[in-house]
Structure 1
């Protein structure tokens, strides 16, 4: 399935919709306005699917929570030397690989590509085109919002 998501171009803690390939509202990212670090809820049809909280630590650490249980942790600092990131989550190990700083990357589960993320360079707003081939699209979109936040801070 194809989705479109805006990037945090202005770095405001604003809510936004992720659109599907028909340009309909598919998922809602409900950002907490006043917080230390990134905090948001990934929602669909007014239901909270995932809750994300950035923990204060020496290096940024993000927790993805589903039904009060931590189902993924992202705590790896990205560097200009590496274009790879490993995510341990409820689905096992996911690998993010590609040109992260140009916002062109893919997510793999084993040898299977489950998401292809490309920054849209020719639109008025800064955003992404995302192709997902994975059963839990909301989870992958949640990870992409977190990765965008990490990249914005570098």
Structure 2
């Protein structure tokens, strides 16, 4: 299933909709203003929070966490020793790791688990500068979590 992210460059609180490939509103990213640390909520179309994204306050390297129901689900950070290209990793609460690699600045990258691609992020299909697609390739993948990981990487790369 493909999802389309169209960020509004100067939106107050960074609020924007993520639509599915049929143009239906699938998720809403609600940027919370006036918080000590950067906070985003990923909501379903009815307004129910499916994930909360926080920038870690104290960390040697930039990191963001994704929480669900108050528990940390994923921690996303830049990989220490990425030799030929920039890479990020997403450490799952279960102890497993997702690899995020590709052209992060150009928004052409993959999210992989043990060498298998779970999602491809690409702006290839769009002429708009602030739009990109998240193609969740596995039916059994947690689309909300993969979208939240992509949003984290996008935010962290933009801040660098």
**Which stretches in structure 2 are left out of the alignment for 5+ residues?**
none
Tell me how far apart the structure 2 counterparts of residues 103 and 116 of structure 1 sit (CA, whole Å). 10
Match of 2:63 in 1: 61
Is 1:86–2:92 an aligned residue pair? no
* Cα root mean square deviation, aligned: 2.4
- The residue correspondences of 1:4-153 to structure 2 (distance < 5 A) are 4-7=4-7, 9-10=9-10, 13-44=13-44, 45-57=46-58, 58-76=60-78, 82-90=85-93, 92-120=96-124, 122-134=126-138, 135-153=141-159
How far the C-alpha of 1:75 sits from its partner, in A, is 3.0
**Which stretches in structure 1 are left out of the alignment for 5+ residues?**
none
Q: Give the stretch that moved more between structures: 92-101 or 4-13.
A: 4-13
How far the C-alpha of 1:37 sits from its partner, in A, is 4.0
**Partner SS for 2:150:** helix
Q: Give the stretch that moved more between structures: 48-57 or 29-38.
A: 29-38
How far the C-alpha of 1:22 sits from its partner, in A, is 0.6
The question of whether the paired residues in 2 share the 8 Å contact of 1:59 and 1:77 is answered with no
Tell me how far apart the structure 2 counterparts of residues 81 and 8 of structure 1 sit (CA, whole Å). 32
TM (norm. structure 2) is 0.84
Deviations 1:79-112 (A, max 9, x none): 8963222211146210011111221101101121
TM (norm. structure 1) is 0.87
